[in-house]
Amino acid sequence: MLSTRSGFDELLPNFPKALLENTFFKFNDNYTNSQLARHTQFQTINKFSDVRSKQIKELFNNVVRSKYYTVKKILEKDLTLLFERATVTDCSGRIHENKTALQLALGAYDNEVFTKDKCSAQPGMVEIIIPRLKELLIKSGKTTDEILQELRNQYLEQFPENYHIQEKAKLIKDKAALDKIIKCISSTNTDDVNQILMLEHKIFDLSREDKPTQLGENLRTITDALINSKPESFDLNFEQLKRLILKHNIIEGNSKKFNYSLLKALYEFRNHFKPKEPLKTGKHFNLKLLVYAGKKYTAKHRRFGGYDSIKNRMHWQMVFGYIQRFVPACVAESIRFGITHITQPRGKDARTGLRNRTPRSLSECSEYDFRPINIFPLEGDIKWVVGYNCAWRMEMLPGPRRWEFNMPTADSLLHLIASKNSIAKELHLTREPMEEKRCVIL
């Protein structure tokens, strides 16, 4: 205890010493004043480190989630965050390892979009980051050449010399996986497709109930294992799912006679596209695959029975919709608003006299569209989960045609791809000479 003979005014000037002499530190001969000082300093550093880590995490999570205005506000407070690197998981479950904010934006090709008459339609994340990174490098004493080299180094680390070859090979494999499931749906009779469609919906509902039963938990565990399986364990995991279906007779009918080849093909398709390893280089998603998937859907639309046929429903919900799960958040925003509406020429705002621009938000849609579905978060609303029981429509057309991926949609998407290629060449970030017209990022 502190001495009762000392008054408050007398004790106050020597309070730190009194505290050390009259608390548990007194009984620890090894805990000196200098050690206490170091301990206090260490705690302060840790606290600073925790705050910094939280700031880095906030910035990087907002970059991959395409939170344009939030990123802008964060960087207004602290530009030095652009020097940091971190590992982050995006909306689609892809892990990006040891990346800068600029590399994340480049990988998602989150840069400015232009209309077909070359007017700015939508602002880009890259255009937020690069000017601020230049400003930061200037303040640190870098020359113009050194600044350009730093930008180029970050770009080339994300898109190395051989990345075009890797992207092309990956696109070929992705198209083959897509073709395989479509062929399987095409060769299966309608009744079998209907049974598997109902079975999949039932599995999905049981495994995602608010309070799942033991059966629901087992189904979720097995289906998650299937989607994340390595090739050598896929067949074993599928047999476990099959045994569970047979044991519990999940939907009415003879479970032994279900077309399990179609069900297996569906899980092989999901397994192929599910991210399993950290993404280190290249773009996060190739939009050309979305164009290809859309054209495939349109080509099969009549052959599968037209609007709302059983085969088209599976193709739309579980194939085309599953591809949509992997678009970057900035592209999901464009789909949400309507790609054709974004890319078409538009007039000026009567109040400001400026061209109307598309909002950067996943929660907003065009005045012509009233859809309740969101791609992200992937399972935000169990009634509308893209890739399982629905897909995002790509066009703002009324009536049955709204499910079609028609040529105007494909042309607009191709224009969107081309529009996102400009930033690397304008900043001389590539090895290719400026006069080349071939695709740089995409």
Look at residue 90 and tell me whether its pLDDT is greater than 50.
Answer: yes
Give dist(CA 350, CA 352) in Å, integer.
6
pLDDT: which is higher, 433 or 294:
294
Going by pLDDT thresholds of 50, 70 and 90, the confidence category of residue 34 is low
Burial class (CB in 10 A: 0-12, 13-18, 19+), 442: middle
User: 55 and 81 in contact (C-beta within 8 Å)?
Assistant: yes
Dihedral pair phi/psi, residue 89, rounded to 5°: -110, 130
pLDDT: which is higher, 338 or 113:
113
Q: What is the pLDDT of residues 196-235, one digit of tens each?
A: 999 999 999 999 988 889 999 999 999 999 999 999 999 9
User: 255 and 199 in contact (C-beta within 8 Å)?
Assistant: no
Going by pLDDT thresholds of 50, 70 and 90, the confidence category of residue 78 is very high
User: How confident is the prediction for the chain on average, in pLDDT?
Assistant: 80
Q: What is the pLDDT of residues 388-439, one digit of tens each?
A: 998 887 754 444 444 455 545 677 788 788 777 655 555 555 544 333 333 3
- Take residue 419 and report the two structure tokens written for it: 């529009």
3-state secondary structure of 421: coil
Going by pLDDT thresholds of 50, 70 and 90, the confidence category of residue 115 is confident
- The candidate with the shortest Cα–Cα distance to 295, out of 399, 411, 189, is 411
Going by pLDDT thresholds of 50, 70 and 90, the confidence category of residue 379 is confident
Going by pLDDT thresholds of 50, 70 and 90, the confidence category of residue 20 is very low
Please name the amino acid found at residue 129. I
Look at residue 17 and tell me whether its pLDDT is greater than 90.
Answer: no
Look at residue 19 and tell me whether its pLDDT is greater than 80.
Answer: no
Residue whose pair of structure tokens reads 């979305």 in the numeric block: 290
Give dist(CA 265, CA 343) in Å, integer.
36
Give dist(CA 85, CA 79) in Å, integer.
13
Going by pLDDT thresholds of 50, 70 and 90, the confidence category of residue 376 is confident
Sign of CA dihedral 118, 410, 155, 66: positive
* The predicted structure's pLDDT at residue 169: 95
- Take residue 429 and report the two structure tokens written for it: 């970030």
* The predicted structure's pLDDT at residue 88: 96
pLDDT: which is higher, 134 or 427:
134
Going by pLDDT thresholds of 50, 70 and 90, the confidence category of residue 368 is very low
Going by pLDDT thresholds of 50, 70 and 90, the confidence category of residue 46 is low
